Amino acid sequence: MKYLDEYRDESAVRAVLDEIHRVTTRPWVIMEVCGGQTHSIIRSGLDRLLPDAITLVHGPGCPVCVTPLELIDKAIAIAARPEVIFASYGDMLRVPGSGKDLFAVKSEGADVRVVYSPLDALTIARANPEKVVVFFGVGFETTAPANGMAVYQAHKQSIDNFAMLVSHVTVPPAMMAILSSPTNRVQGFLAAGHVNTVMGFAEYEPIAARFKVPIVVTGFEPLDIANGILMAVRQLEESRHEVENAYARSVRREGNAAAQAIIREVFEPCDRAWRGIGVIPMSGYRLREPYARYDAERRFAGVSAISAEESGVCISGLVLQGVKRPDECPAFGTLCTPQRPLGATMVSSEGACAAYYKYGRYMDDAGAPV
């Protein structure tokens, strides 16, 4: 397939891997920020082809994983209301709240629907004027423009039976939180190419300078990721700390101006809790005042009182910060599996624990199944 096969070509990837082996002289810890990258790495087995000196840690860039438990509980409470049609991206449905997940609420009679775009939720609202359609607005800067557009269109078309449960998060504050942590061991970043496609990468330059870490804007195919790692290792070996672009076929420094405009129009930055990590200042989006009537937490006032506590065993917070690997968790694969997840990193197919469970079990360090 054009634009994909070239980036999955064994000899091309092998050539970059050879170069990584050649330039690496010391141990380095590099974090891939995005869950999509984690999946591609584990699915292709790329991590097992790197020099032993390179440690990849899996970042917090999985929207399903970082959505706080409390918000899942709010989603469940809203979805259970008889007047509500609850619309969501598919993989949010299996995320366990304190008691159950959205699939369970659906089986109890709630109208929960999988949509592929927030604009589909708007279409459902138009078709069901007697119901309130609530869309679960999760994601990073990648999904924010489309989610913002749905709210903007609802406003323009005066569709009043539409609301959004907003749990948007942004990447740069999370990177800074990780770098500021006393337990941090991340020395370089592969930034999430889809996020940079929207936002550009100018806002990463002060982070690279302040924390003296290389940041390489990286795509999602094995060759993209290998290239990103090579550029990060070269910087580390040469004591440079710049923002470089290894995903130029998609990302420009200034990003997508139209997408940024709709985000600015509809959303404003706010403090946001990350599942397993805690509250990171100014790390999320909420609806601006002119759009506040589409805020599901305001529309269903009772849900704002809901609060919840995480499992004590689960180390997903440490996994999301790159401090621990999924298989270092005592519950991994035993108490905690994709069927019965304790933490969100086991739930989403993009979560680091799920990726380890799905593709990495039974493999020895040489990459052979054991």
Partner 1 sequence: MVKNVDNPLDFEGFTCPLPLRDYPQIVMGHGSGGRMSADLVRHLFVPLFDNAALNRLDDQAVLEMQLDGGRLAFTTDSFVVRPLFFPGGDIGKLAVHGTVNDLAVSGARPLYLSAGFILEEGLPMDDLCRVAASMAGAAHEAGVQIVTGDTKVVDRGHGDGVYINTSGVGVVPPGVDVAAQNARPGDVVIVSGTLGDHGVAVMSVREGLRFDAAVVSDTAPLHGLVAAMLAAGPDIHAMRDPTRGGLAASLNEIAAASGVGVLLDERAIPVRPPVRAACEMLGLDPLYVANEGKLVAFVPPGSADAVLDAMRAHPLGAEAAIIGQAVAAHPGIVAARTGIGGSRVVDMPLGVLLPRIC
State which residue, 166 or 236, has the beta carbon closest to partner 1. 166
Least Å distance between CB 334 and partner 1? 16
State which residue, 14 or 298, has the beta carbon closest to partner 1. 14
State which residue, 102 or 207, has the beta carbon closest to partner 1. 102
Instruction: Give residue for tokens 């300078």.
Output: 209
- Binding-site ranges for partner 1 (CB under 8 A): 1, 4, 8-10, 13-14, 36, 42-49, 63-64, 89-94, 113-116, 120, 138-140, 142-143, 194, 222-223, 338-339, 348-350, 357-363, 367-370
Evaluate the CA torsion angle 78, 83, 84, 85 in order and state its sign: positive
Report how far apart, in Å, the C-alpha atoms of 302 and of each of 23, 74, 164, 296 are: 58, 9, 15, 11
- Rounded CA-CA distance 339/347 in Å is 8
Least Å distance between CB 34 and partner 1? 9
Report how far apart, in Å, the C-alpha atoms of 32 and of each of 59, 136, 335 are: 6, 26, 27
State which residue, 13 or 232, has the beta carbon closest to partner 1. 13
Least Å distance between CB 92 and partner 1? 8
| Residue (of 358, 357, 341, 325) closest to 56 by Cα position | 325
Least Å distance between CB 64 and partner 1? 7
State which residue, 305 or 370, has the beta carbon closest to partner 1. 370
State which residue, 33 or 236, has the beta carbon closest to partner 1. 33
Least Å distance between CB 191 and partner 1? 15
Inter-residue contact 241 to 192 (CB < 8 Å) = no
Least Å distance between CB 238 and partner 1? 27
In three-state secondary structure terms, 358 is helix
| Residue (of 236, 205, 230) closest to 218 by Cα position | 230
- Rounded CA-CA distance 232/241 in Å is 9
Residue 168 forms beta bridges with which residues?
Answer: 139, 285
